[in-house]
Structures are given as structure tokens and as C-alpha cells.
Copies of this chain bind each other. A is one copy, B any other.
């Protein structure tokens, strides 16, 4: 028993997390007040502190939630999966406040900035590249970990560049260009030829926040 209560708790936590993401996305870490987050979530300070210890704890949860906005949407393996992660990311960053806030908090040079979300993304991508390596998709000498870190770096800078020049409108296009430049140095020719790098691969579900 007690299931409905537990479900409500999960829903409340999610509502607070989404509200916090919207406020962090709009105002940054320093500019986001707990009161504004509570107002946006339509909840009480007690409920918030039950789930998150502090504004910092809330911000860390938002940063840590980035992968959950993308990973459940994947159904490919190996190098194609890595390409799909970056492609879906480029679309979700235009529409999902949870991902957008996570990225803003992680790139701001506030006291909050640490390596966690970068290292987590690199791990997720390295896992794809280890599978790719086992499947014989990679060229000899390509290191999954180093390559994964480079893709995280490139995506991090790419979203900043796209953000300041086009408000992220051309982000998917920039991801496509990255893969056209990178694939020949990473994959064996047959895999370069068959890997699909196209926005049309991405089918995003209708989103609660829309």
C-alpha cells in the first residue's frame, strides 16, 4: 500500500525540479531565488526541502538530470547511438528547460561549477564507443574515452556558439557538420558510409513542457 502517496511524492519532486530548471534557465544560478522557484512550482518550502537540501542541491539535481532528457529516447547501438545522442540533444536543448538549465548551470563559472556533468556525459558517450570498438566500427588507435571527451567538449562549445549567434536555431545543423568532420578520423570507411547523420532520424515525443 502507500503507493499513491509515493507517486504523489515523485510527482511533486518532478514539478519542483522542472520549476527550478525554468528559473535557473532564465536567471542563472545567482539570480534564481528559492521563492521564485516555489511560486513557479506552486508548492511550499517544506515540500522543497523534503526533496532537496538547498538551492545548491536543487541546482546539482538539475545538472544531473541532463541525460534523462535524452537517453530514454535512444534505440540504436555503437557509433550510431553516439551520433543519435548528439542529434537528439541538439533538438532537446531548444525545447526542454531541464536540459537547458543543466547546460547553463554547468557552463557558468559560478561557485557551483564542477566536473560531474561533463564526466557523466563523457562516460555515457565512451560506453557507446566501447560497443562501437567491439563491433569493429572504429579505426585502429581510436581511444573511446579520449574521443568521448572530445565530443563532449565540442558539443559544449557548439551550443555556446549557436546560442550567441542564432539563439540555438542552427544547433542541429552544427551537429551534422561536426560528424562530417569527425567520422573520417574515427570510423572505418564502411561505417562512415552507413552512419546516418540527419535531423530527420530524430523523432521526439510530445513534451509535457510544450
Taking a contact as CB atoms under 8 Å apart, the answer to whether A153 and B146 are in contact is: no
| A 91-150 contacts with B by CB, 8 A | 104, 107-109, 113-115, 118-119, 142, 146-147, 149-150
Taking a contact as CB atoms under 8 Å apart, the answer to whether B152 and A28 are in contact is: no
Report A135 CB to chain B, min CB distance, Å.
19
Q: A109 and B28 in contact (CB under 8 A), knowing A157-B152, A164-B118, A182-B185?
A: yes
Taking a contact as CB atoms under 8 Å apart, the answer to whether A181 and B185 are in contact is: yes
Any B CB within 8 A of the CB of A155: yes
Chain B residues whose CB sits within 8 angstroms of the CB of A109 once the complex forms: 28, 104, 107-108
Any B CB within 8 A of the CB of A52: no
Instruction: State how many copies of this chain the complex holds.
Output: 2
Report A175 CB to chain B, min CB distance, Å.
10
Chain B residues whose CB sits within 8 angstroms of the CB of A147 once the complex forms: 181
Taking a contact as CB atoms under 8 Å apart, the answer to whether A153 and B157 are in contact is: yes
**Residue on B with the closest CB to A192?**
B185
Distance in angstroms between the alpha carbons of A164 and B160 in the assembled complex:
17
15 A-B pairs whose Cβ atoms sit less than 8 Å apart in the complex: A107-B107, A107-B109, A107-B160, A115-B165, A118-B161, A118-B165, A150-B154, A153-B157, A153-B178, A156-B156, A157-B157, A157-B158, A182-B182, A184-B184, A185-B185
Q: A107-B109, A154-B154, A182-B185 are in contact. List 6 more A-B contacts (CB 8 A).
A: A150-B154, A150-B174, A152-B157, A153-B160, A157-B157, A185-B185
The 5 closest A-B pairs by CB, nearest first: A156-B157, A157-B157, A153-B157, A184-B185, A153-B158
